Amino acid sequence: MKEIFSLKDKRAVVTGAGSGIGKAIALRLANSEAEVFVVDFNEEQGQSSVEEIKKMGHQAHFHKCDVSDTAFVQNVFDKIGGDLDILVNNAGIAHIGNLEATSEEDFDRIYNVNVKGVYNCLKAGVPMMKSKGGSVINMASIASLVGISDRFAYSMSKGAVHTMTLSVAKDYLSYNIRCNAIAPGRVHTPFVDGFISKNYPGQEKEMFEKLSKTQPIGRMGKPEEVAGLVHYLCSDEASFITGVCYPIDGGFITLNG
């Protein structure tokens, strides 16, 4: 019998896989025997993820990439070549501020990475799935689904990720390409620790607890928990699922009212 949730003989691209959620996803897919292509702008972190996967006895390769650069992205996917089974569009950046606190430069920076970056990877990666089918996972956010204070540009970008997911899911049904999105709440990553230490020096412990309690479940999510959902959606066991945006938020959307 085939092992449940096995990704053996599947080829997976994970963007932003040098740290945080992206790294957890890359490790999880590799541990299920996928050949993983780690794509990240930070060469040191990306190579570190690859080395960790190789130490586990699995296949991995690093490709440096600026996802906002169309030609750069296409060149990376051309180098990867062949058929592609899994594409995880995880690379993204954050911005804090309402409409009036968002400059044109802020808006363009968020758009170029979070929206155009996903477009570039979809444009390069989806054609590589057309011969065999595949699974695309786009990293959205609870900000795609509900209003979040002081996240104007970020919410814009993640709303676009959500609707791009629906379009790709609809347009590529006949190619057996599934496209879903994941909408995390607050997840404990090095970015969160850096944000707290930068903005609340001396109050790190108190702010961490405060932010943790914004999730009704009482804590932040773990990158490994997001990776587990990605793993399932990439597997053949999820072959009847497409065009869905899955919250993974400790009850934030449904239980905060």
Rounded to 10 deg, the angle between the 116-125 and 70-80 helix axes is 30
User: Comparing C-alpha atoms, which of 61, 92, 94, 66 is closest to residue 79?
Assistant: 61
232 catalytic? Reply is no
Task: Identify the H or E element spanning 31.
Answer: helix 20-31
DSSP annotation string for 47-72: HHHHHHHHHTT--EEEEE--TT-HHH
Radius of gyration for the alpha carbons in the chain, expressed in angstroms and rounded? 18
Among residues 111, 119, 154, 246, the one annotated as catalytic is 154
CB 178 within 8 A of CB 239: yes
CA gap 99, 115 in Å, rounded? 18
Cα torsion angle, 179, 221, 248, 241, sign: positive
Catalytic residues: 154
